Amino acid sequence: MFAFPAPSPAPTPALFTAPLTGAFPAPIPGAPPLPPIALAGPTASGKTAAALAIARRWPTEIISVDSALVYRGMDIGTAKPSAAELAAAPHHLIDIRDPLNAYSAAEFVQDAQRLIQAIQARGRLPLLVGGTMLYFKALFDGLDDMPPADPAIRAVIAEEAAAQGWSALHAALAQVDPVTAARLEPNDSQRISRALEVFRVSGQPLSFFHQRKAAGNAGSTISADEAIRTNGTGNAGNAGTAAPTHNAMPLISLEPADRAWLHARIAQRFDAMLAAGFIDEVKNLRQRGDLHPDLPSMRCVGYRQAWEALDAPSVKSELRDKGIFATRQLAKRQITWLRSMPQREVVDCDAPDALAQVLARVQAHIEASNAKAAA
């Protein structure tokens, strides 16, 4: 049995106390379409509660922008919204994949574009909420024109790796794409697999597509390899999405003025996950027999550390510290991504009036959209 210290209290401003009781608003017939709005922030910044507060003010459907929430059976370690929260407003792109199957940024863009149109057609506000910045970036700026993923070839590569080891496949990659192989570690299974897949699908090395992008596209589209490098679990997958259509979407960014405030919340939440049975959740996933730690789902922050702890009894006592540290590093990366997005509007999520600020910004964007429609 794991034994952990009791969670320490963390500050909880008004932003995180949005009630779930009472009626949520219905669409108004004949009203102008409500504009899509993005609500982003690092982990534990209060995105879910802020989204539900918005849903209490305007008829809203929430599109999850989270590469971990897509997986079924991964509820505790992903801090998936509770049953009451999910029932309070319609949610999309949650529990849509088995942990064995990847979900790519390109698939997200396709799904999000479809959902935005459908939600607007129902007279509701499409609210995109989450912390997978790769997905936001792909939706706003598009993905590089890379060859599509090929599950059959990917499966063959996985079989070769199981038989020969990733070092041997790294050597094979060096024969066909020495530029890419030179910057990858021999045990970097995901990137080696993707580079070999690109070559076998297209006959061209991955470095060719990167060089072509650098020569002919000075814009802000992101490559599949960059996506893997910077986001980890947010698989780029079938790149080559259409020209961006949402690069002017408002982006409200929940960011703490005091980083220690966020760190306290991260520790509190990880402690709550452990108390809620996170280790048992990972044990149940392992007992399926078809999952392994190289899958995107099992590389999610927290799950990777828990899997390692179950593999090595000597590090079990370090799980809490490692999990909290990894989550803090994730939050740091998320904030770095957000700072690169020029349209972001920062709300200090640790401010007493954070919720009022969020609602005021949403109101302003809706009014601007209505004025534009009436012009």
Q: How many CA atoms lie within 13 A of 151 on its CB side?
A: 5
Element (H, E) at 368: helix 354-374
Instruction: Give the total residue count for the chain.
Output: 375
- The pLDDT value given to residue 2: 40
* CA distance linking residue 236 with residue 228, whole number of Å: 7
**pLDDT of residue 125 exceeding 80:** yes
Q: Quickly count: other Cβ atoms within 10 Å of residue 218's Cβ.
A: 8
For residue 84, give Cα distances in angstroms to 39, 53, 81, 150: 20, 14, 8, 39
| pLDDT, tens only, 142-184 | 876 777 778 888 889 999 999 999 999 999 999 999 999 999 9
Q: What is the pLDDT of residue 232?
A: 44
Confidence of residue 252 (pLDDT cuts 50, 70, 90): very high
CB neighbours of 130 closer than 8 A, spacing ≥ 6? 40, 47, 64, 65, 66, 69, 136
What's the pLDDT at 313? Answer: 73
Q: Is the pLDDT of residue 21 over 80?
A: no
pLDDT of residue 226 exceeding 80, the answer is no
Higher-confidence residue of 144 and 98: namely 98
Instruction: Check residue 355 and give its pLDDT.
Output: 96
DSSP H or E run through 228: helix 224-231
More confident residue, 111 or 230: 111
Interval 27-46 mean pLDDT = 93
Q: Which band of pLDDT confidence, cut at 50, 70 and 90, is reported for residue 20? A: low
Residues 169/157, Cβ–Cβ less than 8 Å: yes
Residue 69 pLDDT more than 90?
Answer: yes
| Local structure of 82: helix, strand or coil | coil
C-alpha triplet 90, 94, 98: angle, nearest 5°: 150
Q: Does 213 or 93 have the greater pLDDT score? A: 93
- Where does residue 40 fall: left (phi above 0), alpha (psi -120 to 50 degrees), or beta otherwise? beta
Nearest CA to 302 out of 282, 272, 287 is that of 282
**pLDDT recorded at residue 225:** 46
Of 133, 295, 153, 151, nearest to 222 (Cα)? 133
Residue 144: its pLDDT value, please?
A: 67
Task: Tell me which of 245-249, 333-337, 342-346 is least confident.
Answer: 245-249
Taking only the tens place, the pLDDT of each residue in 289-308 is: 999 998 899 999 999 999 99
Say if residue 233's pLDDT is above 80.
no
Distance CA 217, CA 366 (A): 34
DSSP result, 69-123: TTBTT--TTTTPPPHHHHHHS-EESSS-B-TTS---HHHHHHHHHHHHHHHHHTT
Residue 229 pLDDT exceeds 50: no
In this prediction, residue 224 carries a pLDDT of 45
The conformation of residue 21, written as its DSSP 8-state character, comes to -
pTM for this entry = 0.78
pLDDT, mean over the chain: 86
